[in-house]
Amino acid sequence: MIIGLTGSFATGKSTVARMFHALGAKIINADKIAHKVLDEPSIKNKLLILFGDDISARNRISRRKLGKLVFSNRDLVVKLNKVVHPPVIAEIKKELRKNKQTKFNQRKVIVLDAPLLIEAGLLKLVDYLVVVKCSKINQIRRGIKNGFNKSQAIRRIQAQMPLKYKIRLANFVVNNNFSLEKTNAEVKSIWQKITPKK
């Protein structure tokens, strides 16, 4: 079984992924795959041609510099996605195939943790969609806590598909506005509903 896990900037998706992992799920993290893709010479060269040398640091693509540039302009986000999405999607599919072929029992659950799961056309790969939500105020607060300033956090939120549209497609929604205990209780409730019983 594959659970698609998504949300928006700083809604707490990674926290929820860790909670699913604690329950026994195997996590495939799309962000980690994207970081590896950025280090591939062919992708790195394409990005340098598109966005210039200012996005590099120590002979690598600086995600911070790249993000600062592209999230100020929706057209640049589209250009970035055209370069990065195809190899990331190919690697995600490869990981899913590999995990399905290992000797998991029938109760094994894979969580595909992907911020752009819907936008990248990965919805058809999952059995259930879980969307993590919180208020925009909390998104901005958490973004600032993670090193972004207010305007950068707002631009990141605006660059993504609005949460309300993701929620319409969801099988389950985790409200991450409150305590970690409450969020964890919601995750456990979802787990009990969708994992095959012994």
Q: Percent of the chain having pLDDT more than 70?
A: 95
pLDDT at 105: 47
- The 10s digit of each residue's pLDDT in 89-117 is 999 999 998 887 665 545 589 999 999 99
User: What domains, with CATH codes, occur in the chain?
Assistant: 2-194 (3.40.50.300)
Cα–Cα dist 80/77, whole Å: 5
Burial of 171 (0-12, 13-18, 19+ CB in 10 A): middle
pLDDT at 82: 95
Mean pLDDT for the stretch of residues 7-36: 96
Cα–Cα dist 156/77, whole Å: 10
pLDDT at 133: 98
Number of CB atoms found within 10 A of residue 17's CB: 22
Mean pLDDT for the stretch of residues 128-135: 98
Cα–Cα dist 98/62, whole Å: 30
- The 10s digit of each residue's pLDDT in 65-74 is 999 999 988 8
Q: Percent of the chain having pLDDT more than 90?
A: 88
Mean pLDDT computed over every residue of the chain: 93
Q: What is the largest CA-CA distance in the chain?
A: 55
